[in-house]
A and B are shown apart, each in its own frame.
Chain A
Amino acid sequence: MKPILMLSLRQFSSRWRLLLIFFLALLPIALSALMATLASDDSEYAEEFTNVIIDALIIAVLIPIVTMVLATTAFRHELDDRTLSYLILKPIPRSLIVLPKLLATIVVGGLLVIFSGIIATLLGPELDAQAVLAVGIALVVGVVTYATIFTWAGLISSHALGFSLLYVFLWEALVTSIFSGVQYLSVRGYVLSIINGIDGNSFSTLDERVIEFPAAIVGATVVTALFFWLTVRRLRRMDVP
């Protein structure tokens, strides 16, 4: 698994991509600091912080975009330049090809997003360690779940980036905001519910938008396992160019 992880890390380390991710990861920290400076006396500061920084920026935009940029290319580049056969024609289980690809996305993009989310939370309205822990754990779940979905998308379509953008902005951002029942089928819903489940006091403003904590854990686990299995299955059965 280690050689494929190292290969994937090198493939992900193109300058423009790292710069883009770094810039995106800086946004919540910068906005959080700005909000703390300008609006910390506002009575609705805590609520605004949760809605704007945590939900709208980090969970609805940052996690999906960063994981999308990396995960959709995890296999796509190798399919396009026809180097995937170097991995496929080896005596290794297909799951051990998919797993390091996922890990590479999590290491390169995920850690930065999680780190950014934690720093932004620390800069927020006097949130305690439990709040930071809640955000940290929820972001890990979000990164892993999105990475699995987008890795699968990159394997099945050459237009994965476009389809993934549509999915994020139509389903995760728009539909889940309008229909509350959809939270059961939404990664964003799982992440918000986990934050609220771990620290309901600090993030009480999310009460109206979340599902049950166990349901969120089960939902994220099922989605991750399902898309991991679909990716392995696809890799096993596809015609490799």
Chain B
Amino acid sequence: MTISGQSRESAAPEPVIDVCDVSKWFGNLVAVNEVSLQVYPGITGLLGPNGAGKTTLLHMISGLSGPSVGEVRLLGEPVRENATIFRRIGVMSEHEAVYGFYTGREFVEFAAQLYGLNPTKVAVDRAIEAVGLTEVQDRPLRTYSRGMSQRMRLAATIVHDPEVLILDEPLNGTDPHQRIEFQDLMRRLADEGRTILISSHILEEVEIIADRILLMVSGKLAASGNIRAIREKLDQRPYKVRILAGNPRSLASALIKTDAVDSVAIDPDEAIIVLSRNVSALQRSVPYLAQELGIRLLRVEPLDESLESVFSYVVER
């Protein structure tokens, strides 16, 4: 199930990032399951809870790993086994390890040299200035705080002025002030026509700056588009819940009188099956009514796991 919040794909002729029917599995574990998506210039947020498959997907998009099936193209080219494409893209992985013996400046200069820049000085100066670390650039990276290290990694990622930026959890370890600076920098880079894909498991981090959201749940692309549109679309879908209670018929009668549910049924196992489009109200009503009627709640469980995840992730935050 993929919920589309807008139809930008049909308007834009050539996606910068084109992921086509991609799956990735490790043994019996399916990490990414038949995902297709397109990313266009501007800032796109890749959201999802931890373990949703974001990093695996970003690894495939950046060529660090190959899909089990499907194809990934960047700027019209295959990304896997195509080293020259890295002149045009910058990737910052989620792993925060750095060469601790390098100073911040040496680290960025190392990246600049590998990108083939010559001379490197101007580019290195500009990148370090962009992340606001000029004053500490000559300190060894092992002495940096986590946030400073992340920013210097970002400087090394943008030093060659790439057209496409792929950033996996770039805000890890940064404080609120650094986040605002990061958001300003991303907006500036996007306004210059770049394509930026940022992953995060925290909606608020990305919601502010992203033009478009890709929402991953359990290895699948659960929703895409504008965050507001996604929320509206999700609200329109009924949410199915199974409730086991001490006195199911009394609780079902009480539930049907509330605005929280669309329909209530009792299955042969005496479990209440509720359909609801108002999850928040349902979550409040069930325990409230059970307590009021003196009914013992034995179990409340969603029957549509992926939808539940989408709801809990998007609606509750």
Residues of A with Cβ closer than 8 Å to B? 2-4, 7, 10-11, 81-83, 85-94, 236-237, 239-241
Contact = CB atoms under 8 A, between A and B. Distances in A.
User: Residue among A4, A83, A90 with the most chain B CB within 10 A?
Assistant: A90
A91 B77 CA distance: 14
B64 interface: yes
Nearest to B112: A3
A83 B98 contact: yes
B86 A90 contact: yes
B150 to A, nearest CB: 14
Contacts of A7: 99, 110
Interface stretch (B113-121, B210-218, B245-253): B113-121
B83 interface: yes
Contacts of B156: 86
B95 A82 contact: yes
A3 B97 contact: no
A10 B110 CA distance: 13
A213 B235 CA distance: 79
B65 A240 contact: yes
B64 A240 contact: yes
A92 B93 CA distance: 18
Nearest to B114: A90
B242 interface: no
Nearest to A89: B91
A229 to B, nearest CB: 15
Interface in B249-293: none
Contact of B115 (A82, A91, A93): A91
A94 B63 CA distance: 13
10 contacts: A2-B113, A82-B97, A85-B95, A86-B114, A89-B64, A90-B114, A91-B83, A93-B83, A236-B81, A239-B64
Given A2-B113, A240-B64, A240-B65, 14 more contacts: A4-B114, A7-B110, A11-B99, A82-B95, A83-B99, A85-B64, A86-B110, A89-B62, A90-B111, A91-B83, A91-B84, A91-B115, A237-B66, A239-B59
What are the 3 tightest A-B residue pairs by CB atom distance, in nearest-first order? A239-B65, A82-B95, A90-B114
User: Residue among B65, B83, B87, B99 with the most chain A CB within 10 A?
Assistant: B83
B111 A86 contact: yes
A91 B114 CA distance: 7
B20 interface: no
Interface of B: 59, 62-66, 81, 83-87, 91, 93, 95, 97-99, 101, 110-111, 113-116, 156
A11 B97 CA distance: 14
A91 B87 contact: yes
Contact of B110 (A3, A11, A81, A92): A3
B95 to A, nearest CB: 4
User: Residue among A3, A7, A89, A91 with the most chain B CB within 10 A?
Assistant: A89
Contacts of B65: 239-240
B83 A90 contact: yes
Contacts of A92: 83, 114, 116
Contacts of B81: 236-237
Given A239-B59, A239-B65, A87 B97 contact: no
A153 to B, nearest CB: 22
A166 to B, nearest CB: 27
A87 B83 CA distance: 11
B95 A89 contact: no
A239 B84 contact: no
A236 B64 CA distance: 9
Contacts of A239: 59, 64-66
A7 B100 CA distance: 11
Nearest to A85: B93
Contacts of B115: 90-91
A91 B59 CA distance: 16
